[in-house]
Amino acid sequence: MTQLAALLIVALGLAHSVLGERYILVRLFRREDLPKIFGSSEFTIQTLRFAWHITTVAWFGFAALLVQIGQGQLTLSSAAQIVGFTSIASGFLPLIITRGKHLSWLVLFVIGGISLFWGAA
């Protein structure tokens, strides 16, 4: 059952990202009244885009936890590693999408590094 739940979370994440990008974000970004941060609405658009998709990355991390639970292999160490990899993957979104302007990538990388270090101990 946990494998099915993991599969459903992955499917939900994919649908959330693909459909949200196509039917919500693109239409939202056409608006003329988006807040202008740092002189334009571009940073607002970039931040909304990575914030939308980071949910999918987190759900993929939840799916990985469920897979390990279902296999009876979830340990504190493996959970920390999943959190670490999920945090690092999440950090790439603001790093790439905002070209590093949104500093959450730095915090996510630190969280990922700490989690991976703890998980390897």
Report how many domains make up the chain: 1
Q: Whole-number mean pLDDT of the chain? A: 96
Q: Tokens for 11, please give them.
A: 């499917």
Q: What is the pLDDT of residues 80-100, one digit of tens each?
A: 999 999 999 999 999 999 999
The pLDDT of residue 65 is above 90: yes
Give the mean model confidence (pLDDT) for residues 51-68. 97
Quick check: 110 and 83 in contact, CB under 8 A? no
Q: Tokens for 31, please give them.
A: 């608006």
CB atoms within 10 A of CB 39: 7
Which pTM does this prediction carry?
A: 0.91
pLDDT of 39: 83
Enclosing domain of residue 14: 2-120
